[in-house]
Structure 1
Amino acid sequence: MLHRSPSGAKRKIRQRREEQGSRPSPFLTASSSSPTTTATPDESNYRSLIDSGAYQSILPDFDPSYVPVPQPRLNSTFSTSMSSLDITNTSISSSSTPPPPPHTKPTVEVHPMPNEERIIVHDIEIKKEKPAVPAKPKNLKVDHLNRSTSLGSLASPVSHTTSTFLNNLIGSPSLVSLQQAYNSSDLGSQELRKLDEKRIESIGSVNRRLCDFEDERNAIGDDMSANERNGEYLLSIIEKNDPSLANKVRRHLEHFKELLRFEMKLRCLMAKVVEHIRNGGDQTDALLEESRLRRRLADVNFLRLTYARRERDLECAMSRFFEEEESRQWHFYKDTLIQLVQSEEQLRESIVDSKRHLRSLHNTRPNV
């Protein structure tokens, strides 16, 4: 069998261990040599003085019963719980306690106090009264009609729309010719009798037409009542799930109906003015009235767009509680409501015109 010789590194490690094993320990040599040491002459003299009691210390006498009292620290950063330490603990380590620090003045940060005069002046500036609003001039007139975006101002334009020009605008050719015939100076008794018969016949015709308008309005009122019952049934479904949403829809419908009536009134008046211009009437006043009505209609169109956006938002919220059939019924109710409100307002304008025409026929008399 072959034996491998150790490598160079292993041989060096083995040699180092052998050298350390053959070297004597320094601790053993020190301990063995200490008993054999001989004292010097100075050490023997010091020992003899101590043994004889003739040694005198150059240090001052020390009283072991004396306990130094530490001075109070003014700028101490320790908590108050440190003051409860036992004083006896300090007496044990009194010999090793460092001297107290030198007494110094505490550092205090002083901030300037606010000046009372400056505070008073600042309060006066805050409580300074606002300038008074000047009084409105006596001849100043505010045009509320131009506030087209205000929903609460819809009632005032409706009442103001009937201007003097529109009140005098009857629009009936038969009444105009009858008034012109009565105003002629060369009328005989037979001609006056024929004019009276014609006037009475016109009064009867206007009365019959007025009765027809009243019947139609009553029929529309019945249809509106039936349609409102359908709408309330659908709103009751919304109210069971979201009462706040149902109230919003009701307010929206009331405002929307008011807007529809206002729009229909303006369109009826516009039709009268256009007919008057077409028949060759007074052009100056008619054109001014037409321009004014067109501005009002433009404002109404702007409001219609606003209502359309609000209506889409409400219907989107209502679709969460409606089935497909109920959504279809709601759209049918809304379309029917628009048609009925417009027809009702148109009939109301026709009734007003017929009554005005009837009063004019009763008041028409020959000039005597």
Structure 2
Amino acid sequence: MEFSKYKKFGAYHWKQYEDKNTKYFRHANRVKEWIKEKNVLDIGAGDGKITHLLGIKGLDNEPEAVRLAQEKGADVILGDVYHLSFKDEEFDAVFMGDALEHFEFPRQALKEAKRVLRSYLYLATPEKGTNKDKFHYQEWTPEELKELVESEGFALEGEILVVPKDKRIYGKFKKSTPIKQITREERTQKYKNMSTEMETSSHFPMLIKTVQMTKGTVVELGSGIFSTPLLHWLCLGRKLITYESYPHYYELAKKFKSENHDIRFVNNWDEVELSEHYSVVLIDHSPKRPRNRGQDAIKFKDKADYIVIHDTGPKIEAKYGYDKVWPHFKYRRDWKECPHWTTVVSNFKDLSNL
């Protein structure tokens, strides 16, 4: 849709900034203090007030906005947010201030922003439901914004800042390196203990099937660089709780924290909550004493429809104490397609359809 505000009101952001009592004055100065990088692209720069204030480069797709910005001395050019004319990683950071909500295709805009930046994406946008504007294609809650941006290959730094007085939310996101690009040789110290062999995902078929068959709360005992993202997306719109006792895994899992996905650190696996009946429980943690895995599975015998247990099979089940588990359950199904088996047990559901 055509954005007609600049034809009607002129360089209105410059006028608003002259009044120290306006929310735009507070917003512009908040952004000035927030963004420290110098080589920054302002996407959706409008009439260029913030672009000029920060001394950065701006881009907008409205000719009238660009004309007004250039008249004011701001470095703003005409361009297409979905097809930026810049080289890959040409900028240290990208800023989108009150812009993303105006884009009909926000995911494509985020993809292009990611392509041209090296490090950070700074976002400011009205909080969902606080600003009725016919030029907004969509708006987001803090949780929805985090979910959208992180799904396009970014990771939130800290927390989303909510400023109720100004009806805006702010988020700083770091460009992520996809896991598929990390080879064994390229692993950093942070990843040195994390296996990338496919056997670590041998429980996925049973896990996906049981989650798709249910609608209630899912519990993950032991986060993983593969299982936690998988469950996060499988469980959109329902409650998911991930428990972890190792700090380095916990820090990775925290990136997926959202309104429905709770990430909890436990010093002892006895701290795991048993307050409700769960749909699916995944047993895949790294206890200080291996036999505790079996004991923890037994705790859920009357608390879950399906318990998915990773790393089973004759060669390994005694190590984790699984040999003591099976008598406690009415139904059992073994997935034997990989060297590390996966076993599903239940006292409530017949497993013959798995």
TM score, norm. by length of structure 2 = 0.19
Report the TM-score when normalising by structure 1. 0.19
Asked which structure has the greater CA Rg, the reply is 1
More helix by share: 1
More strand as a share of residues: 2
